[in-house]
Chain A
Amino acid sequence: MTDGTTEAAGPPARDRADRAVLRPHAEQQFADELALLAEHDDRPRPPGWRLSPWAVTTYLLGGELPDGEVITPKYVGPRRLIEVAVATLATDRALLLLGVPGTAKTWVSEHLAAAVCGDSTLLVQGTAGTSEEALRYGWNYARLLAEGPSERALVPSPVMRAMQEGMVARIEELTRMPGDVQDTLITILSEKTLPIPELNTEVQARRGFTVIATANDRDRGVNELSSALRRRFNTVVLPLPATTDEEVDIVSRRVRQIGRSLQLPEVPAGLTEIRRVVTVFRELRSGMTVDGRTRLKSPSGTLSTAEAISVITNGLALAAHFGDGVLRAEDVAGGIVGAVVQDPVSDRVVWQEYLETVVREREEWRDFYRACREVS
C-alpha cells in the first residue's frame, strides 16, 4: 500500500510521488479539486466526512464553483444514481454498486471514498480465496507465539481500520467471495462492531464508517449474496452508457486523462476514431446496428466502455511512437480485433461477418475496413 501521508507532505513531495507511481489514487490525482471543493463547501457535513454530500455529488458529476473554478466530471451518466449513492452513504448505510463489467463500478467507488473520507485505499479485493481474516483481522504469528494474544499481535484488516478511524472501506467484487466470508459483514454492518473474542474486546465503528461494495451481477462463478446481507445494502445499478454521444464523451475524457498520466506524447485523439470504436463496440454489444436496421451476432466478450478506452489508449501509443502522430484507423484496428475476438473460433466468425456486412457498406469507413482486413 502506498503511504497515506501525501497530503501532509505538501506540493513538491506530491509531485515526486506522482512521478513515482504508475497510477495515483483518486485523492492524490484530484487533490486540488478536493481542496477547492472543501474550501467553498459551506454546507453541513455528516460526521466524519471531509465534504458535504452536495460537494461529493459535484465532485463526481463535475460542475463549476462560485469563483469560476471547474470541477471535472468523474462519472458521466444519470445524475440520480450518484445522488442516491451519496445519500446512501450519508444515511450510514452500506452501498452496493451493481453492474456488468466495465460500467465504472470500481471507478465510482474509488472516487466516492476519496471524496467522502479522503482515502480510497482501505480496499479488500474479493476472490474465491478471500478469507475471513481479510474482512476482520489476522495475527502476527511470531508475536502471537512469543507474547500470546494481544493488541500488538493483531493485524487489522482494511475494514477494521476503517471502523477504527471512521472511514469508508471498499470491497471489490463482493460476490466473488465465498458466501460464509461475505456473511462476516452482517454484524459489522448492522451492529457496527467487530468483536475480537480472543482478546475479549471489540472494535466499535466510529462515525463516518461505511462500506462501498461492488459486484458483478452477470458473471459466472459468483456467490449470490444472502438475503440477510443484501438487506444491509442499498443497491445502485450502474448502466451501460445510454447513448453513443455519452459513451464517446466518457471514452475521450478518460483517454485524455490516461494519456496524460502515462506521459504519452501529445496526440490529438481523433474524435472520429473514438466515435468509430465506440460505434463498433455498441453495435456488437447490442447485436444491432445503430440505425436499428440490421441484426448482428454478439461476440462472447463484454465489450465494455473500459475496453473501448484501452483500445483507444493503445492506439494513441501506437500513433505516437510508431505512426505519424495522428490517431488513424490502422492504430486502433489491431486493438479492436483483439477486444472483439476473445474466442478464436466463434468470435472470429462474428467479427468477419460484421466486417463484411456492416463495415464494408459504410462509405466513410473505407480506411477502417482496409485496416481491419489487414490485421484479421
Chain B
Amino acid sequence: MPRTEFYGIRHHGPGSARSLRRALEEFAPDLVLVEGPPEADAIVRLAADPQMVPPVALLAYTTDAGSAGEDGRAEGPRAAFWPFAEFSPEWQAIGYALEAGAEVRFCDLPAAHQLALDPPADPAGESGSEEEAPAPERIRADPLGWLARAAGYDDAERWWEDVVEHRGEGPSSFPAIAEAMAALREDLERRPLEGEPALPEAYLLRERRREAHMRRTLRRALRQGHERIAVVCGAWHVPALQARVRAGEDDRTLRGLPKRKVALTWVPWSYGRLARRSGYGAGVRSPGWYRHLFLSPDRPVERWLTLAARLLREEDLHVSSAHVIEAVRLAETLAALRGRPLAGLEEVTEAARAVLCEGAEEPLALIRERMVVGERLGSVPDGTPMVPVQRDLRAECRRLKLTPSARPKEQDLDLRRPLDLERSRLLHRLRLLDVPWGEPTASSVQGKGTFRETWTLHWRPELDVALIEAGAWGTTVRDAAGARARALAEGARTLAELTAVAERCLLADLDEALPAVVHALSDLAATDTDVSHLMAALPALVRTLRYGDVRGAPLGGLRTVVDGMVVRICVGLPPAARGLDEDAARELLGLLDAVHEALALLDPGPGVEETGARPGGKTDEKAGEEAGEEPGPMARWQAALADLLDRPGLHGLVEGRLTRMLHDAGALPDASDRMARAVSVGVEPSRAAAWIEGFLSGDGLVLVHDEALLRLVDGWIAGLTADAFTAVLPLLRRTFSRFGAPERRAIGERARALASSAAPAARGEEPDPARAAPAARAVARILGWDRPAAEDGGR
C-alpha cells in the first residue's frame, strides 16, 4: 500500500524548514514532490552541487517570439522566478532528497503554461502591499501568517516557533496545519456568500489549474509505483491535494491551456528580493534573522546580539560585552513579560535599541540593514544551463576579477592599467545591453580625468533576466553589445542619438560596430539640413575622435565624417546666421563656441604640422591623403568665419564673437578698426553693446592685455551721450559682471592708467599719438567727427 504524506509549509519559514527536514528524515520517502515548475526536474540535481549557494532562484523564461495559443494574450518575453533561501522548506526538501537518494519532482503547473497565461493579478504575486489588500487576499497570501494573527502574533515565524517548534517531541504538526488550512479555505469560500469580497475569479481559476496539475502529478507518481511519496507544498494547497477529485475532472480543467516555449535555469538571488514582496508571493521581511534562526538553533538570541555588537564595533561605536549581557537579559525579560517562550526578533530589536544603541535610531538602522535583511547574493555552479552570453559574462568576470555583489560598491578604474581598461569596457558593453550592473558615478578621485572612471557596481537578480534577453543579440558580451550598437545606430533618427551611440561604442571598445555607426552618421549628416544639428553633434564626435586616440581605438572613417561635417557646417553657417533675434543669436553663439573649441582640440591650427602632431598609423595615412591642397578643418572654419564676418545682417552678438575668435586666432589684422566701427556713433547703442558682449564674452583678460582694444572700449563708453549710456548700461553690466572680480579690478586700473597718462610712451620713430591726440581731438571736434575717427586721423 503506497503511502503519501502531505507537508504544508510556509514559504521561506525557517521553523517550517527545520520541522520538515525532521519529518522527512523520519518518513524516508522514495519520491519528494515539491511545489515548482516541472520543467526544472532536469536541473534539480544542481542543487546538491557544492558551488550552489542559496539564495538562488529557478528562472523560467520564454524562448519563442511570443504569440501564444487561442486565449494566449501574453506576448513578448516573460520570465518567472521561484526563489529559495537555505531556510526555505522547499530547499531543505530538495536537499534531503538529493542526499538520501530519493527522487525529486516539481509538481506545480508547468512554466510553459504559467508564462503563456495572463500575468496573474495575484495576491500572492508581484505587487500589492500587504496593508492595502482586502482580507481574503491577505489570508491567501500568507495563510499561516493569518492564523498567527488570529492567535495574537504579528510575526508568523514567532507563532510557528511558539506553537510548533517549542512543543517538544510531540506528534508531527503537519496534520494539524492541514486541518487549519481546510478551515481557512472553507471560511474563504463562505465569505462571498455572506456578501464579503472574494478573490478575483481569474486568480481562482489559476489556483484551480495549479492544484489540478499537482493532483495529476501525484496520481502519475502513484501509477509509476512509488511507495512512499512526500508532497511539499504551500500549506494552503494541502486540503485541495488531499481532496478526492476524479482524474477526468482535472484533465478537463487542464485541457487546452495555452503554451509557450520556455527554458529553465538557476540564477543567483538576493535577500533583498526575498525581503520585498516583489517578485515572489511569500515575502520575507527579515531574511537575515530567519537565516540566523535556521543556522544557529543554539542560543540564537545571545549569538544575534553578539553579532550586532560586533557590527556596531566595526562602525566605531563602543559596545562592550557588558552591553551584550544586559541586552540579552532585557530581551529575555521582555519575552517573559510578553508571555513568549523565547525572545524573538522584536524583543531582540527592542533590547538592541535600548541597550546597544542607547536609544538612538541610526545604529539600529544599521543593524536592520546589515543583519535583519542581511543582503547577500547566492551563486550557481558552472554546470548550470545558461545562455551563452551569461556564460561569457561569467568567464569575463573571472578573468577580470570582478565579483557580483548585492550591496552597492564603488570601484575606481585607472584606464592606464590594462585590467581596469578591460573592466571599464566590459561595464560599458553591459550598459549598451541594458544590463546596468555598473553605473558611472562622479569620481571621488578626480573630477574630470580621461584616464579615470568611477563605477557603482550593484548586481540585482533581475539583471540576469536582462542578460538573458540580451542573449538575443549575440553569444558573447562583446558580440551582443556590437550587434546592439549597430541596431541602435540603424534606429537612430537624430544626429545627437547617433553621436551618443558612437561615443558609447568607443567606450565599450566595439571596433566592429563603429564602421556601421560611422556610416549611419555620415548618411544622416548628409541629409540633415539643419546646420545647428550638425554643430551640436560635432563636439561629441571630436571628443570621440580624441578620446579614441587616448584609448588606442581605431577610428575607421570617423575622421572623414568629421571633416565632411565641418565642410557642411561651413557652407551652411552664413544663411543660418542671418536675421537672428536675440535668443537665436545667443543659441548660435553657444554652438559657435562649442564647435570652435572642438576644432581647436582636433586641429591645433593651420600653423601646426598635422603629420607630426598625432600618433598612430592611421592618421599618418590620412595626412598623406590630405597632403594636397585640401585645407585643414580649422583653416576652413576660420575662412568660413572670416567670410561670414563680412556679410551684412549679422546680429551684434555673433559679429562681436566672430571678430574675437578670429582676433584670437591671429587671423584678423584689423580687429581694432572693426571694433571702432561696430561701436561708432552710427551704430545703435544696443547693437554696439551686444557686439561688445559678444566680443568680450567669457573673458575680460583681453582688455587687460590689449591696450588698443581697451582704449577703444574706453573711448566708446566715454563718448556716449547720457541717454545712450543709460540705454547700454544694463548690457554692459551684464557683460562685465561675468568677469571675475580680479579681472574687473585689473581692467579698472588699466582704464585709470589710460586716463592719467593719456597715451602710452613713444614708440620709436612713429609719430607720437599722445602728443598729437589733443590736437587731433580738437580738430575732430571742430569737424564734428567722433573719437574713433580722430584715432584714425592720429595715425
Residues of A within 8 A of B (CB): 53-54, 57, 80, 83-84, 86-88, 90-91, 93, 96, 98, 227, 230-231, 233-237
Which residues of A are found within 8 Å of B330, using beta-carbon distances?
84, 87-88, 91, 93, 234
Nearest residue, chain B, Cβ from A234:
B354
Minimal beta-carbon separation of B153 from chain A (angstroms): 14
Residues of B within 8 Å of A237, CB to CB, are: 359
Given A84-B350, A234-B326, A235-B354, A98:B333 Cβ within 8 A: no
Best-buried of B318, B323, B337, B338 by chain A (most CB within 10 Å): B337
- Whether A84 lies near B354 (C-beta < 8 A) is yes
Majority SS of interface residues in chain A?
helix
Query: In the complex, how many angstroms separate the beta carbon of A57 from the nearest chain B beta carbon?
Result: 7
**B172 interfacial by beta-carbon distance below 8 Å:** no
Q: How far is the CA of A96 from the CA of B355 in the complex (A)?
A: 10
- How far, in whole Å, are A88 and B318 apart by their CA atoms in the complex? 21
Distance of B38 from chain A, by nearest CB (Å): 46
The reply to whether A83 and B337 contact each other, CB–CB distance below 8 Å, is yes
Q: Cβ of B333 and Cβ of A91 under 8 Å apart?
A: yes
Residue B483, interface by CB 8 Å: no
Among A84, A87, A91, max chain B CB count under 10 A is at A87
Residue of A nearest to B322 (CB): A231
Contacts of B337 in A (CB 8 A): 53-54, 57, 83, 86-87, 90
Cα A98 to Cα B338 in complex, Å, equals 23
B400 to chain A, nearest CB (A): 46
Further contacts, 8 of them, CB under 8 A, given A53-B337, A88-B354 = A84-B351, A84-B354, A87-B330, A93-B326, A96-B359, A227-B318, A230-B358, A231-B323
Which residues from B are CB-within-8-Å of A86?
337
B334 contact from A83, A98, A231, Cβ within 8 A: A83
Complex CA–CA separation, A80 to B350 (angstroms): 8
> Are the CB atoms of A234 and B318 closer together than 8 Å?
no
For A83, the chain B residues whose CB sits under 8 A away are: 334, 337-338, 350
Give CA–CA (A89, B320) in the complex, Å. Answer: 21
Query: Interface readout for B325-351 with A: 1 if CB under 8 Å, 0 if not?
Result: 010011001101110000000100011
* Closest B residue, CB atoms, query A236: B354
Q: Please pick, from B322, B323, B350, B359, the residue contacting A98 in the complex, using a CB distance under 8 A.
A: B359
Nearest A residue (CB) for B351: A84
Tell me if A236 and B326 are in contact (CB < 8 A): no
- Distance between A51 CB and nearest chain B CB, rounded to angstroms: 12
CB-based contact A234/B338 at 8 Å: no
CA distance A235 to B326 in the complex (A): 12
Q: Which residues of B contact A84 (CB under 8 A)?
A: 330, 334, 350-351, 353-354
> Are the C-beta atoms of B359 and A87 separated by less than 8 Å?
no
A93: min CB distance to chain B, Å: 6
Residues of B with C-beta under 8 A to A93: 326, 329-330
Chain A residue numbers with a CB within 8 Å of B326 are 91, 93, 234
Give, as a whole number of angstroms, the nearest-CB distance from A180 to chain B: 21
Residues 295-325 of chain B, each 1 if its beta carbon lies under 8 Å from chain A, else 0: 0000000000000000000000010101100
With both beta carbons as reference points, the residue of chain B lying nearest to A56 in the complex is identified as B337
- Residue among A88, A96, A230, A236 with the most chain B CB within 10 A? A88
14 residue pairs of the A-B complex, CB under 8 angstroms, read A53-B333, A53-B337, A83-B334, A83-B350, A84-B354, A87-B330, A87-B336, A90-B333, A90-B337, A91-B326, A93-B326, A230-B358, A234-B354, A234-B355
Cα(A367)–Cα(B326), bound, Å? 55
Q: Once bound together, how far apart are the Cα atoms of A235 and B352, in whole Å?
A: 10
Determine the chain A residues whose CB is within 8 A of the CB of B334 once the complex forms: 83-84, 87
**How many whole Å from B638's CB to the nearest CB in chain A?**
55
Known: A98-B359, A237-B359. A231 touches B333 (CB 8 A): no
Q: How far is the CB of A112 from chain B (nearest CB, A)?
A: 14
Chain B residues lying within 8 Å of A230, measured Cβ to Cβ, are 358
CA distance A230 to B317 in the complex (A): 13
In the assembly, what is the distance between CA of A84 and CA of B347, in Å?
9
Q: Mark B383-401, 1 if CB is under 8 A from A, else 0.
A: 0000000000000000000
Bound-complex Cα distance A90 to B336 (A)? 11
- Distance in angstroms from B365 CB to nearest chain A CB is 14
CB-CB under 8 A from A236, the residues of chain B are 354, 359
Cα–Cα distance between A237 and B360 once the two chains are bound (Å) = 8
Interchain residue pairs A-B with the least CB separation, the first 9: A235-B359, A87-B333, A87-B334, A234-B354, A237-B359, A91-B329, A235-B358, A53-B337, A84-B350
| Chain B residue, CB-CB nearest to A79 | B338
Query: How far is A233 from B330 in the complex, measured between Cα atoms in Å?
Result: 12
Smallest Cβ-Cβ distance to B334: which chain A residue: A87
C-alpha gap A98/B330 in the complex (Å)? 18
CA distance A90 to B329 in the complex (A): 10
Question: How many Å lie between the Cα of A90 and that of B333 in the bound state?
Answer: 7
Chain A residues near B351: list those with CB within 8 A. 84
When distances are taken between beta carbons in the complex, the residues of chain A under 8 Å from B357 are: 235
**Complex: A27 Cα to B37 Cα, angstroms:** 65
A88 to B353, CA, bound (A): 12
Contacts of A91 in B (CB 8 A): 326, 329-330, 333
Q: Please give the distance in Å from A375's CB to the nearest CB on chain B.
A: 40
Q: Which residue of A lies closest to B323 (CB)?
A: A231
Bound CA span A303–B330, Å: 34
Rounded to whole angstroms, the CA-CA distance of A87 and B323 in the bound complex is 15
Contacts of B350 in A (CB 8 A): 80, 83-84
What residue in chain A is nearest B350 (Cβ atoms)? A84
Separation in Å of the A222 CB from the closest CB of chain B?
Answer: 15
Note all chain B residues with C-beta closer than 8 A to A87: 330, 333-334, 336-337
- Chain B nearest CB, measured from A320 CB (Å): 41
Chain A residues near B358 (CB, 8 Å)?
230, 233, 235
Least CB separation from A227: chain B residue: B318
CB neighbours (8 Å) of A96 from chain B are 359
Neighbouring B residues of A233 by C-beta, 8 Å:
358
B326, B354, B355: which has the most chain A beta carbons within 10 Å? B354
In whole angstroms, what is the CA distance A227 to B322 when docked?
13
Q: How far is the CA of A236 from the CA of B330 in the complex (A)?
A: 12
Neighbouring B residues of A90 by C-beta, 8 Å: 333, 337
**In the complex, what residues of B have CB within 8 A of residue A98's CB?**
359
Query: Are A231 and B354 in contact, CB atoms less than 8 angstroms apart?
Result: no
Smallest CB-CB separation from B331: which chain A residue?
Answer: A87
Q: How far is the CB of B233 from chain A (nearest CB, A)?
A: 36
* Cα-based distance from A96 to B359 in the complex (angstroms): 9
Shortest CB distance B332–A (Å) = 8
Measured CB to CB, the closest approach of chain A to B714, in angstroms, equals 50
Q: List A contacts of B336 (CB < 8 A).
A: 53, 87
Q: How far is the CA of A186 from the CA of B622 in the complex (A)?
A: 84
- Chain B residues with CB under 8 Å of A57's CB are 337
Instruction: Give the CA-CA distance A235 to B361 in the complex, in Å.
Output: 11
A65 to B629, CA, bound (A): 106
A21 to B334, CA, bound (A): 37
Residues of A within 8 A of B323 (CB): 231
The distance in angstroms between the C-alpha atoms of A227 and B323, with both chains bound, is 12
Docked complex Cα distance between A84 and B353 (Å): 10
With both beta carbons as reference points, the residue of chain A lying nearest to B355 in the complex is identified as: A234
| Contact partners of A231 in chain B: CB under 8 A | 320, 322-323
A183 vs B440: C-alpha distance when bound (angstroms): 52
- Interface flags for B511-527 (1: CB within 8 Å of A; 0: not) read 00000000000000000
> B355: which A residues are within 8 A, CB to CB?
234-235
A157–B390 Cα distance when bound, in Å, is: 75
B359: chain A residues within 8 A (beta carbon) = 96, 98, 235-237
**Shortest distance between the CB of A318 and any CB in chain B (Å):** 39
How many Å lie between the Cα of A225 and that of B220 in the bound state? 72
CB closest chain-A residue, reference B357: A235
CA distance A84 to B338 in the complex (A): 10
Shortest Cβ distance from B320 into A: residue:
A231
CB distance from B780 to the nearest CB of A (A): 62
Residues of chain A within 8 A of B338, CB atoms compared: 83
A62 CB to nearest chain B CB (Å): 16
Closest to B327 in A: A234
Looking at the assembled complex, report how far the CB atom of B713 sits from the nearest CB atom of chain A, in whole angstroms.
48
Cβ of B625 to closest chain A Cβ, rounded Å:
66
Return the chain A residue nearest B326 by Cβ: A93
